[in-house]
Amino acid sequence: MDVKSAFLNGYLEEEIFVEQLEGFIVKGMEEKVYLLKNALYGLKQAPRTWKACDETLVVSLYIDDLLVTGSSMEQIENFKKEMKDKYAKEILKKFKMEEYNPSATPMNQNEKFCKEDGAAKADERLYKTIIGCLMYLTTTRPDIMNVVSLLSSGDPLFLEPFWIQNAASSAMLVAGWHRMSYTFTNQSLISRLLEDHIRKLHTTVGNAVTQGRFIVFGAGSTNSSMLQCMPFHQTIHQPQLKSWHPSLFTRFVSPPAFASSSISGMPLNFFRSVNFQFQGDASLWKNKSDSTLNFIEFVTSPNNPDGQLKKAVLQGPHVKTIHDHAYYWPHFTAIPAPADEDLMIFTLSKLTGHAGTRLGWALIKDEALYQRMSTYVKMNILGVSKDTQLRALKLVKVALEGSGKEIFEFGYTAMKERWERLSNALSESKRFSIQEIAPQYCTFFKTVRGPSPGDSHS
């Protein structure tokens, strides 16, 4: 639609009636009026009608380059996606590979080749053409080129659109003189206001019991788990600290769904502490007769990435358990009941998606352990950044706005859609399968809901 057409022929959304104009009165219908269907000429109405028209996309082709512009960024992105998909499909079609599935074909390292072995000569040109097309496709598609790093990053960016929608309410302006001290006004390293809001959030969601619990902050849940191992060591061995032998203390993780998903062992092995060692699957030690060994068992519930709710495997007076509930939010799992263990870990990154803010917290029942952990935090990192706590407070306040469901409804919808897409894609494969997860009643949504497991970046 050009400018002239917009002035004279623009469509109207509202209903406008006018009297019959002089010289255009229909005899016998003098009392009737006209209903306008097109825009009238006007300095304000016509430009507004012009802008309200359909979006425009302009594509200019120059040899093998495309110049794309238009009135809608969303339309441009959709066009780019369609072109990328079409190019990838054309490559597969060109080489008759539409129905092919990926398969590992490792080369025999001891195989000896000769120039003439009697076999038909391979078409080198075809092979080079396929490789060239795939290399071009990869280098022009960052999502393909960086697929491994994207899938292993763990960045919970699926919540980014939610915060774009809530940009104003979640924004902060911090003066240069604000929060300069190491401590808050009560000489504490923890913001009591943030602690109160975290307790309120757990109560609203119903995923953890906070009454009768103490709270300790750490720089993310991974740091929080390391902070808890040292105080646990002191709790177990304090009466005989001088005579303690390092081989008597081991640490275990509950059975993961996949052997490689036991990420909790990585920092322990990296730091090589003499106080504890990572020993893998806790179920391997369940029936050990030697009860003098001391254990710290990590229970990841829900487990990442299969979403299964786990229970502790080891029991007894020589066992301490840390329950990692980083994913125990309505984004990823139904909430059947509040978690009520002695020591529980949560993290802001899986709640709001702000992984870079680096905040995790532990809910602790034992006051003596709480005091040891608080001392260790103070000696180790001198408390979590006050700027981190300030931003976390702002984000938690937004999460609690209204009925406290908006962020969780958004997150659950996004993760559920991705799980369904993954399930549908794998259901067509003859080589891969995916677990079946039954719907479960969620006390937060007050309904039976389908699964939405998996890491937050997927």
What pLDDT is attached to residue 31?
87
Residue 120 lies in a domain: no
* Residue 352, pLDDT above cutoff 90: yes
**CA gap 165, 160 in Å, rounded:** 9
Q: How many CB atoms lie within 10 A of CB 131?
A: 10
pLDDT for 3-39, tens place per residue? 445 445 555 566 777 788 888 888 888 888 888 776 5
Closest to 351 measured CA to CA, from 145, 241, 197, 193: 197
Range scoring the smallest mean pLDDT among 211-220, 289-298, 410-419: 289-298
Residue 121 lies in a domain: no
Final residue of a domain: which of 399, 426, 450? 399
pLDDT for 380-395, tens place per residue? 888 899 999 999 999 9
Residue 384 lies in a domain: yes
What pLDDT is attached to residue 252?
39
What pLDDT is attached to residue 207?
96
Residue 276 lies in a domain: yes
Residue 151 lies in a domain: no
Range scoring the smallest mean pLDDT among 135-139, 242-246, 351-355: 242-246
pLDDT for 146-160, tens place per residue? 665 655 556 788 899
**Cα dihedral 217, 219, 222, 224 in deg (nearest 10):** -20
What pLDDT is attached to residue 51?
60
Q: Are residues 388 and 260 in the same domain?
A: yes
* Stretch 352-359: mean pLDDT: 91
Could you tell me the residue range of the domain that residue 27 belongs to?
3-51
CB 7 within 8 A of CB 46: yes
Residue 29 lies in a domain: yes
**CA gap 385, 389 in Å, rounded:** 6
Higher pLDDT pick, 416 / 109 = 416
* Amino acid making up residue 283: S
What pLDDT is attached to residue 48?
60
* Stretch 327-331: mean pLDDT: 94
Residue 292 lies in a domain: yes
Q: Is 69 helix (H, G, I), strand (E, B) or coil?
A: strand
Q: Are residues 362 and 217 in the same domain?
A: yes
Q: How many CB atoms lie within 10 A of CB 313?
A: 20
Residue 414 lies in a domain: no
Query: Domains in the chain: how many in total?
Result: 2
Specify the pTM: 0.64
Which CATH number fits the domain that encloses residue 382?
A: 3.40.640.10
Higher pLDDT pick, 292 / 449 = 449
Q: Are residues 46 and 173 in the same domain?
A: no
Mean residue pLDDT of the chain comes to 78
Higher pLDDT pick, 172 / 247 = 172
What pLDDT is attached to residue 2?
46
**CA gap 133, 119 in Å, rounded:** 27
The first and second tokens of residue 81, run together, are 């996606």
What pLDDT is attached to residue 304?
78
**CA gap 167, 172 in Å, rounded:** 10
- Residue 291 pLDDT class (50, 70, 90 cuts): low
Rounded to 10°, the helix 192-205/386-399 angle is 30
* Residue 250, pLDDT above cutoff 60: no
The first and second tokens of residue 148, run together, are 């491994």
CB 429 within 8 A of CB 445: no
Residues near 108 by beta carbon (within 8 Å), at least 6 away in sequence: none
* Residue 300, pLDDT above cutoff 70: yes
* Residue 174, pLDDT above cutoff 60: yes
